[in-house]
């Protein structure tokens, strides 16, 4: 845990503001939209810009859970933030106590940031999900509280794609069973129902970052690739898009799932879909635990409809490591564990050193940019707003960050307040019930900044006001 010595901050009347320094570079991300993403990302490049000061960020408190990668800790530490780090997730009571005073929290997939938890977070500005998914966060409540949420939708794509290739080969050769047998002293050299993957058809459900990378890897092994996505997406290599999920299921020797958790994808593979699959086919799920109806999968494996399956995700998963994967967690666990040629892994699709390092950099940079500059580009629940940096020679400038309810008349009120000042640049946008305005005001002294803050704080429909110097 990094705990720098606090530096003096603004008076109590400005306690909701965060007065910060700004990094000189903004992270870049490709813009693309696939089924396994939540929103497009935008790319921005900045030159050296003015650091927002004189107030430091020593008072900004960051809580990191679930062994978030060291790269993120280094990014936050370099900004002078106070960082509290935990290797595991926290129970709800302890989490509520810890989250009360922090300005940012970083989690992975096990921590549940429910409305009940978030309502205790009085100073929270931003949440970083150091993973692909954000279903562990109440996004709507966070948005209404003015809390932006960021994630990393593609940094672990290669790691997941490689795991899927590994699982395909392991299932087709029954490697899991042979390894377990030999660990128990049983020599069982067989070739019956063991296959090469060359020439077989791989069906990919969700042709996003993971699905498209997997497509290229599978073709390199000589597989035929088809895919289904709710969007029309240009194929890589010789892959072909099919018009329906049922068509993909009927044509594929291996079916692999790469979709988000939504109401539409819940139990998208159940008894009717399993019946549509080829006899002796294989099913792989490295997406979300709710996507597959596991009791239906167990029945299909028992009767020999499927020759095997690989699962890395489950409807209910342990909050920490240990002997916790049992029937108390999911009532069908022991039955699933007893089946032949079924690979069970503990949600390790993105668990590589490379992926976690990249996720730490991406999400850590996004959180820092939001805290220091107000940029919400890449937020999953929030209007995406950003302004270019200030020139190095600009003085007496304040950046206004004003989050408010999206109702008529608010901007008129705010612009009346700002009209007394020189507005260098301004941009606002809305998303659902939430709107976000950024403006750079020049030619102001400390007393004028305090007055500006107080006026904005007293406006109707205000959610959060921040000023960056």
Indicate which residue of 317, 335, 448, 457 is catalytic: 317
Exactly one of 41, 209, 258, 347 is catalytic; name it: 347
Per the annotation, the verdict on 317 as an active-site residue is yes
Pairing assessment for the beta strands 397-405 and 462-468 based on DSSP bridges: antiparallel
Q: Which residues pair with 230 in a beta bridge?
A: none
From residue 442, how far is each of 52, 284, 325, 397 by CA, in Å?
Answer: 13, 57, 58, 4
Strand partners, 434: 405, 431
DSSP one-letter code for 338: T
Assess whether 288 carries a catalytic annotation: yes
Q: Measured between alpha carbons, how far is 200 from 469 in angstroms, rounded to an integer?
A: 60
Which backbone phi and psi does 264 adopt, to 5 degrees?
-75, -25
Single out the catalytic residue among 103, 288, 404, 466.
Answer: 288
End-to-end CA distance of the chain: give it in Å, rounded: 27
For the record, the structure tokens of 118 come out as 């978030």
Residue 462 neighbours by CB under 8 Å, 6+ apart: 402, 403, 404, 456
State the CB neighbour count (10 A cutoff) for residue 94. Answer: 11
Q: Are strands 342-344 and 306-311 parallel, antiparallel or unpaired?
A: parallel
Dist CA 59 CA 142 (whole Å):
22
Widest distance between CA atoms in the chain: 84
Q: Is the peptide bond before 54 cis (omega within 30 degrees of 0)?
A: yes
Going from the C-alpha of 315 to that of each of 46, 77, 110, 289, 347, the distances in angstroms are 42, 36, 12, 4, 11
Lookup: tokens for 113: 């940031």
Tokens 């810890």, residue located: 98
How far apart CA 97 and CA 125 sit, in angstroms, is 17
Neighbours of 222 (CB within 10 A): 11
Cite the active site residues: 288, 317, 347
């Amino acid at each position: 845990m990094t705990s720098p010595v606090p530096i003096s901050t603004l008076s109590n009347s400005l306690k909701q503001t965060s007065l910060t320094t700004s990094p000189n570079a903004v992270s870049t991300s490709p813009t693309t939209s696939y089924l396994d993403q939540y929103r497009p990302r935008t790319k921005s490049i900045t030159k050296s810009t003015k650091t927002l000061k004189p107030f430091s960020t020593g008072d900004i408190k960051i809580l990191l859970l679930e062994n978030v990668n060291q790269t993120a800790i280094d990014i936050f530490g370099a900004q002078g933030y106070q960082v509290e780090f935990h290797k595991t997730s926290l129970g709800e009571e302890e989490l509520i106590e810890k989250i009360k005073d922090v300005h940012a929290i970083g989690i992975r997939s096990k921590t549940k940031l429910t409305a009940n938890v978030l309502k205790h977070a009085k100073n929270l500005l931003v949440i970083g999900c150091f993973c692909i998914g954000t279903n562990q966060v109440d996004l709507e409540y966070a948005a209404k509280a003015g809390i932006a949420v960021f994630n990393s939708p593609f940094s672990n794509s290669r790691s997941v794609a490689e795991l899927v290739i590994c699982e395909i080969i392991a299932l087709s050769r029954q490697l899991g069973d042979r390894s377990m047998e030999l660990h128990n002293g049983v020599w069982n050299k067989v070739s019956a129902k063991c296959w090469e993957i060359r020439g077989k058809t791989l069906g990919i459900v969700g042709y996003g970052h993971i699905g498209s990378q997997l497509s290229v890897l599978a073709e390199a092994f000589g597989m035929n690739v088809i895919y289904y996505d709710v969007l029309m997406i240009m194929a890589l290599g010789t892959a072909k898009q099919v018009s329906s999920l049922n068509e993909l299921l009927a044509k594929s020797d291996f079916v692999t799932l790469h979709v988000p958790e939504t109401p539409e994808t819940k139990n998208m593979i159940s008894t009717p879909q399993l019946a549509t699959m080829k006899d002796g086919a294989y099913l792989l799920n490295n997406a979300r635990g709710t996507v597959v109806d596991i009791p239906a999968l167990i029945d299909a494996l028992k009767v020999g409809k499927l020759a095997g399956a690989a699962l890395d995700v489950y409807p209910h998963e342990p909050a920490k490591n240990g002997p916790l994967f049992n029937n108390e967690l999911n009532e069908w666990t022991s039955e699933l564990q007893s089946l032949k040629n079924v690979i069970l892994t503990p949600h390790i699709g993105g668990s590589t050193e490379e992926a976690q390092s990249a996720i730490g950099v991406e999400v850590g940079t996004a959180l820092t940019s939001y805290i220091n500059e107000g940029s919400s580009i890449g937020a999953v629940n929030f209007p995406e707003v950003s302004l270019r940096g200030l020139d190095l020679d600009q003085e007496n400038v304040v950046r206004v960050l004003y989050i408010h309810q999206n109702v008529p008349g608010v901007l008129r009120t705010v612009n009346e307040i700002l009209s007394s000042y020189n507005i260098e640049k301004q941009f606002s946008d809305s998303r659902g019930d939430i709107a976000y305005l950024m403006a750079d005001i020049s030619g102001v002294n400390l007393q004028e900044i305090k007055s500006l803050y107080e006026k904005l704080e007293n406006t109707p429909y205000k959610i959060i006001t921040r000023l960056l110097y």
